[in-house]
Amino acid sequence: MTPFATRKIRLILELRRAGISDTAVLAAIERVPREGFVPDAFKHQCYEDTALPIGHGQTISQPSIVARMLQALRIDRRHKILEIGTGSGYQTAVLSHLCRRVYTIERHAPLLHVAQDRLEALQRRNVTAKAGDGALGWTEQAPFERIVVSAAAPDVPPLLRDQLADGGIMVVPVGDEYDEQRIIRVIRAGSTFEAEDLGPVRFVPLSPGLGATGARQTR
């Protein structure tokens, strides 16, 4: 048993008590070593239900938020998923256990490079990543059955919404950086979009353009 195993078991129990009932999501979280996605200075907190800094003004989201958002996506093993905001790569790794293919975009290339190395070390072969402006989505690979956004937008991003497949679901935090933010689930039915409020949340803002540069793309 690893030094973090007991803490991980405790976290999974906490997630269950918090209302996470999707067994596939819980199993995926259990399979991903969160200690490998946080800076050394914060490893002792890696299985606490808290967000932690990862550099460039970004954070690794608290596990309960990751679990809530992924549960809300209703992911199927056949799905192709777009993730906006790779960050540390932690949620990307969890997603890779849940679906057929993950396409992930990060605006800070140095963060992306580290995340790619972590995913490669875990042999997560069903992830394609690039540095770019997440608000623009990934038109070359659209449509996507599922889209998850890991930063708060002022409103549901129209370019991302339009990259949903018919019947697709997007989960996105919406709200101002200094005001209330809500998790919004958007479901596409043909040319119409139904939005559902899933409750309060707190994320860093979805910023346009590229952050720190030095991009590379891997498959």
Model confidence pLDDT, tens digit, residues 170-215:
999 999 877 889 999 999 999 999 999 999 998 988 887 665 554 4
Whole-number Å distance between alpha carbons of 6 and 96: 24
Query: CATH number of the domain at 5-201, please?
Result: 3.40.50.150
How many Å apart are CA 122 and CA 99, to the nearest integer? Answer: 16
Write out the two tokens for 103.
């396409």
pLDDT at 209 (0 to 100): 66
Which residues have a Cβ under 8 Å from the Cβ of 94 and sit 6 or more positions away?
A: 25, 28, 29, 32, 66, 70
Which residue is listed with tokens 């140095």? 110
Residues (pLDDT < 50) of the chain are 214-219
Task: Strands of 56-133 (E only): list them.
Answer: 58-60, 80-84, 101-106, 127-131
CA–CA gap between residue 206 and residue 200 (Å, rounded): 17
- Cβ atoms of 43 and 34 within 8 Å: the answer is no
Q: Which of 21, 61, 96, 191 is catalytic?
A: 61
**Helix, strand or coil, per DSSP, at residue 68:** helix
Based on the residue annotation, tell me whether 96 is a catalytic residue of this protein: no
Residue 143 pLDDT: 98
Q: What is the pLDDT of residue 55?
A: 92
DSSP one-letter code for 62:
P
CB neighbours of residue 40 within 10 Å = 7
Domain ranges of the chain: 5-201
